[in-house]
Amino acid sequence: MDKQINAAIQLLPIGVAESKLAVIDKAIALIKSSGLKHLVCPFETVVEGSPERIFKLINDIRIQCLADGCPELLINIKIHAANRDLSFDEKLEKYPAV
């Protein structure tokens, strides 16, 4: 069975007539509705869950953004995987919230 992974997702809309932030807001709404644990950060959003759910979410973001009129986009993804379940909470526990 696959272990829980962490993924950082950064969306860069290209050639958008409307606000780029509107496209990003729609992507964040998809992340929120996915039910995956997530943390919205200034440059990317971090999610954790099974690889299947995370890869499905990334594909859903791609499909939705292109269908909503974004002519082109870059999706930068960083994935942390291990032979154990990963949690971004464990990575942040020694750093107090601002």
Query: Does the pLDDT of residue 17 top 70, yes or no?
Result: yes
The Cα 51–Cα 49 span in angstroms is: 6
The number of helix segments (H) and strand segments (E) in the chain equals: 3, 4
What six digits make up the tokens of 5?
A: 């992974």
Q: How confident is the model at residue 91 (pLDDT cuts 50, 70, 90)?
A: confident
Q: pTM of the full predicted structure?
A: 0.90
Assess if CATH 3.30.70.930 describes domain 5-92: yes
Instruction: Determine the pLDDT at residue 36.
Output: 97
In this structure, is the dihedral angle defined by the CA atoms of residues 34, 40, 74 and 83, taken in order, positive or negative? negative
Q: How far apart are CA 75 and CA 53, in angstroms?
A: 17
In the chain, where the domains are located: 5-92
As a whole number of angstroms, the distance between CA 11 and CA 85 comes to 25
